[in-house]
Amino acid sequence: MPDPTSQNTNEELHTAKQVKLENVGALSREQLTPDAATEPQGHDVAGHDHAPAEDTTPDAHAGHSHGAGDHDHGPAGDHPYLVPGISLALLLAGIALNYVDVAFFTGYVRLAWYGLAFLLVGWKVIRAAIQSIPSGNIFNEFLLMSLATLGAFAIGEYPEGVAVMLFYTVGELFQDAAVNRAKRSIKALLEIQATEVTVVREGQPLVLDPKAVQMGDIMEVKPGEKVALDGTLNGQAASFNTAALTGESAPQTKQPGEAVLAGMINLESLIQVTVTAAFADTKLSKILAMVQDAVGRKAKTQQFITTFARIYTPIVVGLAVLLVLVPYFVVGDYVFRDWLYRALVFLVISCPCALVISIPLGYFGGIGAASKAGILFKGSNFLDVLREIDTVVMDKTGTLTQGVFAVQQVQPAPGTTPEQLLRLVGALETKSTHPIAKAVVTHVGAAATGVPVEAVEEIAGHGLRGTVDGRNVLAGNTKLLAKFAVSYPAEVDQVVDSIVVAAVDGQYAGYLTVADAPKEDAARAVQELKADGIGQVVMLSGDKDSIVQRVAKELGITEAHGGLLPEDKAKYVQQYLSEGRKLAFVGDGVNDAPVVALADVGIAMGGLGSDATIETADVVIQTDHPSKIATARRIARATHRVVWQNIWLAFGVKAVVLALGAGGVATMWEAVFADVGVALLAILNAVRIQRMNFITDNSSK
């Protein structure tokens, strides 16, 4: 068992995992909405990294950066397949003319025919290869494709040169479609952000941009409208559709004074909301910033593949050159054209498209699938880390429990009925703002309304004293009764839960227990984590230890520690880490932020959690359901599985066809399959993540 008094703590808990949110309010709808996702995409020359995984800053080009210039895979507009279609028609017509041996289809006519089909789809690739040279990014897929296809034309293999470039371009269009689908699954979040808001100033309604609204302004929200900014509800209770924020289909009813968040939809009557956060500070804006930050953080696998591609490509070009030159000295019947053809086939096969596109797309798909489930990963690297954890440490209040006190038991003394006890205690507690007092008042309800209460005195650390309906009433802890020399049964001291003990006219009248009830999926969350291979589930809490142990037993947690200060939690977590455990910490309060930062993976409850914890965390669960931790693990494992399937597929097929190409067995057509075909298969495999169901039958929806 870790020693909570250990001095081996991390003094810089917040330095490693802070999210940059300075650009929160600058997100552009034109850049992040699904409409923007339909623009043609390209690939970064240096490492062939897809822009959604690399360049999502507000100033980023809608396409992909290529250093010296931009490369588009086909025509802009609503018909991206039109020009490739024309090229395909010319190619097929040319092959047919060759087959029937038409007299005029020879010489320059044949070259011009195939040259036109080639330029329609290949000129942008060649341009990208040339424009990348000044920046030093010479060895890239554009160079490989350009050399191979122009070389095919040089030796008279026109149809094969056109086919390679055509299928490459069509493959890129399919890749863009897959990326756009993944982008839409994440950026659809922005669709829940209102573009205008009605504000009442000096009695007059004004329609404003949400960024122009000030804290303290009164918003009017009509039935069916989205709430534009965070605030508190005025006037009367109202129901809201919160599905876009939490994934919950059931409407939520908010009482006057309760928090209303941007993105909620008002379901009933006209309401007014007092703004409590500027546009850039709303939970929704911060969630969007987290997503923006997430797609720019690479997993180790992505980093490896990017580095690999930068080393691999020049090696391949060098080997292709050697494949042409070396046989001249060792082969008796050397024919330059034959060996040049083999080298060109070698270049086409070696293009690392399948690896450097499908792997980032796989991680991007994992982040998108998680966002659909109400889980936000702040980077693809955390998908990998979450998959590797073996220990989950959780806070109690607000994480495993509802974070709301409620009366659990009413135990009147002999001669007193439950109704009498509740009426007197409830009326007295209406004069207190303590959370336990509010829980009692909520439980008693209308029974305490209209009961005269006078001469109320709040005794710090003890409770309340006052005159209720003409009787002297005490309500508080056992220290209050001892202070006024009121005797009570000894078993009262053995009660585990928080307790409100009462005395009426100097006589013990009974007690109420108040506790924070576990969330409905808390026990299931613990069971799923254990079934998912988590060896140790631990609960750390600042609540008194007796309550912590009771909740732990109820939820099936074997190790739990209560009565902890934030620094005590940090010492426990530090000790677990020093034992070599891979650890995730789940919390929601401000006091959890240091421990969330310290863990290998910090997980925050995003619905009710504090901003500090949410900003420090690596994973945010929007629905506040602890069972989503196991869901996040399933998504992480599926993403890892798909990514490595793509790696082995690409390496396996390319290794075989490279050997065949060097030996003169494989032609350009096999090369096309090894390059574009494998890339498409890998992309289709990566897209599967978006279609997988990660919610178990008994998980929270």
Cβ–Cβ under 8 Å, residues 146 and 119: no
Picking from 355, 390, 378, the residue whose alpha carbon sits closest to that of residue 583 is 390
- 251 alpha-carbon distance from chain centroid: 24
Strand order in the sheet with 471-476: 401-412, 507-518, 498-504, 471-476, 463-468, 453-459
Distance separating alpha carbons of residues 476 and 657, to the nearest angstrom:
80
Burial profile 283-302: b = 16 or more Cβ within 10 angstroms, e = fewer? bbbbbbbbbbbbbbbbbebb
Structure tokens at 372: 């659909």
- Taking each helix axis from N to C end, the angle separating 545-555 and 522-531, rounded to the nearest 10 degrees, works out to 60
Picking from 313, 163, 169, the residue whose alpha carbon sits closest to that of residue 668 is 163
- 655 alpha-carbon distance from chain centroid: 35
Cβ–Cβ under 8 Å, residues 46 and 67: yes
Kind and range of the H or E element at 435?
helix 435-444
Distance separating alpha carbons of residues 553 and 562, to the nearest angstrom:
13
The residue assigned the tokens 């086409």 is: 348
Cβ–Cβ under 8 Å, residues 54 and 296: yes
Distance separating alpha carbons of residues 599 and 587, to the nearest angstrom:
11
Q: Is 395 in the active site?
A: yes
Distance separating alpha carbons of residues 105 and 87, to the nearest angstrom:
17
Going by DSSP bridges, is the β-strand pair 559-561/536-540 parallel, antiparallel, or unpaired? parallel
**Phi/psi at 539 (5° precision):** -120, 130
Looking at 176, 395, 588, 618, which residue is catalytic?
395
Structure tokens at 516: 């924070």
State the alpha helices, DSSP H only, in 13-60. 29-32, 51-54
Burial profile 250-262: b = 16 or more Cβ within 10 angstroms, e = fewer? ebbebeeeeebbb
Q: What is the DSSP letter of 70?
A: -
CA distances from 210 to 263, 334, 565, 694 (A): 12, 74, 39, 35
Chain length of the chain: 701
Distance separating alpha carbons of residues 53 and 294, to the nearest angstrom:
8
Distance separating alpha carbons of residues 547 and 514, to the nearest angstrom:
11
> What is residue 323's three-state secondary structure?
helix
State the alpha helices, DSSP H only, in 188-266. 243-246
- 240 alpha-carbon distance from chain centroid: 24
Cβ neighbours around 100 below 10 Å, total:
7
The count of C-alpha atoms lying within 13 angstroms of the C-alpha of 612, restricted to the half-sphere facing its C-beta, is 10
Cβ within 8 Å of residue 19, ≥6 positions away: 289, 290, 293, 378, 615, 616
Structure tokens at 347: 């270049």
Kind and range of the H or E element at 466?
strand 463-468
**Phi/psi at 304 (5° precision):** -65, -45
The residues assigned a catalytic role are 395
